[in-house]
Each structure stands twice: as C-alpha cells, then as structure tokens.
Amino acid sequence: MMDEPLAIEAVELVEVALPLVRPFRTSFGEEQEKRAILIRVDGGDVQGWGECVAPEEPRYSEEWLDGSRLSLRNFLVPALLSGGPLSNPTQVGVRLAWVRGHRIAKAGLEAAVFDAWLRLRGKNLSEHLGGVRTRVVCGVSVGIAPSIEAMLDEISGYLQKGYRRVKLKIEPGRDVRVVEAVRQALPDVPLSVDANAAYSLADAPMFEALDELGLVMIEQPLHHEDLVDHARLQARIRTPICLDESIRSARDATAAIELGSCKIINIKPGRVGGLVEAVRVHDAALRDKIPVWIGGMLETGVGRAANLALAALPGVSMPGDTSASDRYFHQDLTPPFVLAPDGTMAVPGGPGIGVEPLAERLQSCTVRTETILRRTVM
Ligand code: NPQ
Ligand code: MG
C-alpha cells in the first residue's frame, strides 16, 4: 500500500572492518582500515540499511565509532522506536531532536529508515529526494603521501581511470611546495586542496601563495567550528573557500553564506545529521547560487549509495568525493561501484538506496553486532 507506515520491529548495529587499499592520511591522522557501523532497520516485510560514518577516533569531528554505538543504543534507537510506526522518514529527525549533536549517528539511523520506508513503497531514494540525473561526475581525494613522486604516481593512476577533479590533502609543512609540484606536472587538471582545519589566519601568506596555483577551491583551511576567520581569509584570496567541517546544519550554511565565509559547500549527510538536513543545506545554497558537491567519509557501498543519490540533486554542480569502491577497498560490502571512463558513476536505481550488502561479504567483515528490539523499550 502506498501510504503504509513503517513499523520497525528491531534495529541491528553491525560493526564492520574493511582493509583499505592504501593508508589514508590527512592533516589529522592516518587510517589503515575502514571501520563503520552499518545500521539495519527491520520492518518485518522489509529491511533497510544505513551507514554510520563516524571514524574510530574523534579527529575529524567530536564523533567517533564507539561513541556513536552508545548514542545509538542508549538514546537514538530507543527514541526512534518509542514513537510507533513512521508515516514518513522526516519524522526521524523530529524524534531524535532532543538528543543534542550526535549528527553522524543520527544520519546513519535516518538513512536506514529511508531505505526501509522507500522499499516498502518500491520507490528510489534519489528520485524521492528530488534527483535530476542518473549519472554523476566524480572526483578523488588523495591522502598525504610520503613523497611527491609517490603522490604523482597515485594521481596519474586516478586520472587514467577518468576522475574529473583531484583533491590533495595538505598540512603545515606539506602544502605550497607539494601543490606547486603537482600543478607543474599537471597544468590543466582541476585541482583542489583540503586542509581539514589545520591552519589559522596567521597562515594567510601560505594561502596567498596557493592562490596563485589556479585551484578550484581550498577546503576547510581554518578551525573546524569557525566562520568568521574564514570570511576574513576569503576576503584576501580569489580562490573559492569550500567549507566542510564548519557546516553542521542548514543554519550554519545560511550563516556562512551571509558572512562570506565560503563560496562553495561540501555536503556530507553524516556531518549535518542526515539526508533531510543535507537536502536543506543543498536548498539553502541553491537559493544563493552557492555551488555544492557531495563529500565522502570512506563509506562502504551502503553509505556510498546514499551519497550518489544526493549527488543527483539539481544544485550539485561540482564533482564529488563519490569515488569508486576500488579507490578504497579491494572488495566492497555491496556489488562494487564502478567509475566509467568519462569520470561519471551511475546513481543506483531501484527501491531504496538501490543496493544491499552481500551476505557473505558482510559476514566476513563483521566484528560485532547488537540488536535492539522494540519490546525492550516498551
Ligand atoms: C574530508 N574525506 O573531506 C574527508 C575526511 C576524512 C574523502 O577526503 C575515516 C573515516 C577516515 C572518515 C579520513 C575525504 C577519514 C574520514 C578523512 C574522513 O575532509
Ligand atoms: Mg574535507
């Protein structure tokens, strides 16, 4: 039935670990393997999957994997289940709103509800959210490498595969010199940098040097919660600043745009607390003609599918960090997402997020599970 509500019987938290094809290094740390909590919403006749993208340590933001598991188990899942059947996934955010923060955990749970609720209706996530295309343009994020030669090698591999924009991670001591070398070797490639909040306004001269290198954008140069200093820096450089960490809601996005803190926004559903809020950020940016693109958190296929659904929205006008599965994993948990030679990837069609974890892959990557039943909270 078209308007049948989703009655959730149980929520399962499935923690997984996947080896990465190569370590991923940023200004805040290095990952050797990818851990995530997959969230399975059991709706009786249907189930839905979402991914909680919190990293193992609270270096990107204050959220981390073990903390997310506790916030889900102790507060978020009980709050969701105590409200009865859901007539619309927009109710998830309302039920969870009394819990302050914990956006990454909330986003994973909301995504799983979307998947189950849409499967009940045979409807596709991207279409439901307002997606306007079936293929999206992809970029790639390159970790800090031990040497410039190693970095150029890695980049040329990505360019051969078709990626349309290369994002270099920078940190103090590995910035202008590295970016200059890459720019010299690849004069025409759309290049950006991401500092993951590693600098302060006192580093403005370094950013003025980067400003000469024809970058598409400079992502999150300053403090992870700052808007004001970013506005001051943006006033000094022509290269657009893109905010990632500093934008945690549509409210933040509106403030950043009004202050002139950025000219581009990276949207990650985890960082802003879910798909509903991600669409609100998108809408706020589109209203003010601020280009947006969809970021990445080294998602497995479950989270990647939802990101691709968002990337089809009309205001998404730049290549995303929505790279192929093989950028991160030898084997994904879902059938692999593959980059076409033209640098595009298909938005999954079909009900819900369009993909499901493969049972035997899931089993071999699972490190622990926990089930929260509806009756335990009644
Ligand atoms: C960013 N991602 O845009 C993030 C940061 C990031 C693809 O550059 C584990 C889980 C490690 C999530 C490292 C990309 C991570 C992570 C970096 C996210 O800033
Ligand atoms: Mg970033």
> DSSP readout, 50-77?
EEE---SSTTSSS--HHHHHHHIIIIIH
Q: Which amino acid is at 355?
A: V
Architecture of domain 10-122+356-376: 2-Layer Sandwich (3.30)
Quote the pLDDT of residue 3. 87
Q: How far is the CA of 262 from the centre of ligand 2 (A)?
A: 13
Quote the pLDDT of residue 375. 74
Protein residue with least CA distance to atom 9, ligand 1: 55
What's the half-sphere exposure (Cβ side, CA atoms, 13 Å) at 235? 9
* 77 touches 11 (CB < 8 A): yes
3-class secondary structure, 184: helix
Running DSSP on this structure, what letter comes out for residue 203?
Answer: G
**Domain assignments of the chain as residue spans, ordered by start:** 10-122+356-376, 127-346
- Ranges of the chain with pLDDT below 50: 377-378
Q: Say what the pTM is.
A: 0.97
Running DSSP on this structure, what letter comes out for residue 163?
Answer: -
Quote the pLDDT of residue 130. 98
Quote the pLDDT of residue 231. 98
Q: How far is the CA of 117 from the centre of ligand 1 (A)?
A: 29
Mutate to test the pocket of ligand 1, among 298, 304, 307, 323 (most ligand atoms within 8 A of CB): 298
Q: Which amino acid is at 362?
A: L
CATH 2.40.50.140 correct for 127-346: no
d(CA 149, CA 69): 40
Q: How far is the CA of 126 from the centre of ligand 1 (A)?
A: 23
Quote the pLDDT of residue 377. 46
CB of 63 within 6 A of ligand 1: the answer is no
CB of 315 within 6 A of ligand 1: the answer is no
d(CA 47, CA 14): 14
d(CA 190, CA 216): 6
Q: Per this entry, what is the length of the chain?
A: 378
d(CA 371, CA 315): 38
CB of 110 within 6 A of ligand 1: the answer is no
What's the half-sphere exposure (Cβ side, CA atoms, 13 Å) at 211? 16
Residues annotated catalytic, as ranges? 169, 268
Backbone angles phi, psi at 58, to 5 degrees: -80, 60
Our CA angle for 56, 62, 65, nearest 5°, is 25
User: Strand 344-346 to strand 292-294: parallel, antiparallel, or no bridges (unpaired)?
Assistant: unpaired
Q: How far is the CA of 271 from the centre of ligand 2 (A)?
A: 11
Protein residue with least CA distance to atom 16, ligand 1: 297
Q: Which atom of ligand 1 is nearest to the CA of 268?
A: 3
At which residue do the structure tokens 């010199």 appear? Answer: 177
